[in-house]
Amino acid sequence: MSMIDARRFLADHGGMPKPLPLLEPVPTADVCCTPLASAPLTADEAADLALRFKALADPGRLRLLSLLMASESGESCTCDLTGPLGLSQPTVSHHLKKLAEAGLVTGERRGVWTWYRVQPDALAGIAAVLTGQVA
């Protein structure tokens, strides 16, 4: 875009473009509690662990995790996940939001799209709670 076009664009659209808000950091899914066989879970620990299991208890979300983990770069754009899943973009975004709320994935906004990656120790932390083996 030439300098004249840039000035005309800014004049036509009310000055500088509106800055995008920063995304709030998402909690990570580190080991939430002691292994199940070591001691009974507290109510808070059980609620935290259940949130993560609920996020994993959907076939679409499991496939999303698989696609993210199998991607060459370890991350994928929301736009690249709709085709392989055969789901609409709003549905994929909803599933990714649930995985992010559970601390299993993180998203980074790049332009109009969000790129997601699996939290490195998230699944290992859940496995450690179940098996009693620290990763």
Does the pLDDT at position 124 exceed 70? Answer: yes
20 assigned to some structural domain? no
The CB-side HSE value for 83 (13 A sphere, CA atoms) comes to: 4
- CATH code: domain of residue 73: 1.10.10.10
Share of the chain above pLDDT 90, in %: 41
Return d(Cα 73, Cα 70) in angstroms, integer. 8
Asked whether the predicted pLDDT for residue 121 surpasses 50, the reply is yes
Asked if residue 18 is part of any domain, the answer here is no
Domain assignment present for 79: yes
Site of tokens 């299991």: 53
Please tell me which residue, 68 or 23, carries the higher pLDDT value.
68
Number of domains in the chain: 1
Residue-wise pLDDT tens digits, 25-48: 444 444 566 667 777 888 888 888
Residue 10 lies in a domain: no
- Domain of residue 98 covers 28-131
Model pTM score: 0.69
Using the predicted structure, report yes or no on whether residue 96 has a pLDDT greater than 90.
Answer: yes
Sign of CA dihedral 30, 33, 37, 38: positive
Residue 50 lies in a domain: yes
Q: Residues 51-56: what's their mean pLDDT?
A: 91
Half-sphere exposure of 122 (CA within 13 A, CB side): 24
Cβ-based burial of 73 (10 A; exposed 0-12, middle 13-18, buried ≥19): exposed
If pLDDT is split at 50, 70 and 90, which confidence band does 118 have? very high
